[in-house]
Structure 1
Amino acid sequence: MRGHHVAVRTPDLQTALDFYVGTLDFRVVATWDYADEQLAYVAPATDDHFFIEILGGGAPAPADVRPYTDLGASLKYAGYHHFCLTVDSVDATVGKLRARGVSIVTEPFVLEVISRRLAFFCDPFGNLIELAEVLD
């Protein structure tokens, strides 16, 4: 087995696409309708093996996700927590995200046990996203 995608439920596909494509520089791989929802696969510009499936629209609209204002508070909830994107530099990526108006939930830090520099931020709907830089 290997991973293929993670699905993110949102009330509005276009707002999600504006963020993932416009802010994170992802690309749209496919779009389709399912009942009264609009869906899309998006992928990082340099990755043909990992996708985010965005499920937008539909009635009733999805309930709000838990607001993540810090990583510690987020750990008290069961279920889906976050997905991770590997980057060359967490610090440079955080700087670009800040310049694009993205709020950083957890400032960059090193987790030595897995040799990674990490940071966390949210999409416009509160879905938590991790950045990971592999350290030497």
Structure 2
Amino acid sequence: MTLSISQDHIGIVLLEDDLEPTIAWYTEVFGFEVVRRTEGFGQIYVFLANNDIRIELLTGATTRQPKSDDVFTTLDPSRYHHLCFAVDDLDAAVAHLADHGVPLTGGPFDITELNRRNAFISDNLGNVIELIAPA
């Protein structure tokens, strides 16, 4: 039997003090909207959506991860590394991010084997986000 699956959401755990700034970051930088807010198990859950991308923010963390200004320093330890947003025009996306004060942590890079260009940023919490577009 083959299991049929599809992407539903990515979950980001954070400090409760970081919840509102993170909602603001994703709504202002990428145009996400809050679609649901609930509480349970002593945590707050906020679901953000932009087209078919959904992010679940949940409180419960007790420490912050260190931020990096170079994507290559984030490749260790072995773990889930990044989420990737597809964009139509990488240069326009990079300019949009710069207008919002979001620096690149890597790229833009050309991936000639895949006919793609990509760049990396970190969100306000230090989570790595890749942007990818046709070359």
Under TM normalisation by the shorter chain, which class is it?
A: 0.7 to 0.9
Provide structure 2 residue ranges, at least 5 long, that are not aligned to the other structure.
Answer: none
1:14 paired with 2:17, answer no
- How large is the RMSD of aligned CA atoms in angstroms? 1.5
- The CA deviation at 1:36 is 2.6
- Separation in 2 of the partners of 1:103 and 1:34? 35
Provide structure 1 residue ranges, at least 5 long, that are not aligned to the other structure.
Answer: none
Percent identity between matched residues is 30
Q: Which residue of 1 aligns with 2:9?
A: 5
Amino acid at match of 1:5: H
- The CA deviation at 1:77 is 1.8
Q: Which residue of 1 aligns with 2:53?
A: 50
- Separation in 2 of the partners of 1:95 and 1:15? 22
Alignment length (residue pairs): 129
Q: Which residue of 1 aligns with 2:109?
A: 109
* TM superposition outliers: structure 1 runs of 4+ over 3 Å: none
Amino acid at match of 1:4: D
Q: Give TM-score, length-normalised by structure 1.
A: 0.86
After superposition, the C-alpha distances for 1:52-89 in whole angstroms (9 at most, x for unaligned) are 11113x4xx43222422212211122111000000111
Q: Which residue of 1 aligns with 2:36?
A: 30
Moved more, 22-31 or 119-128: 22-31
- The CA deviation at 1:117 is 0.7
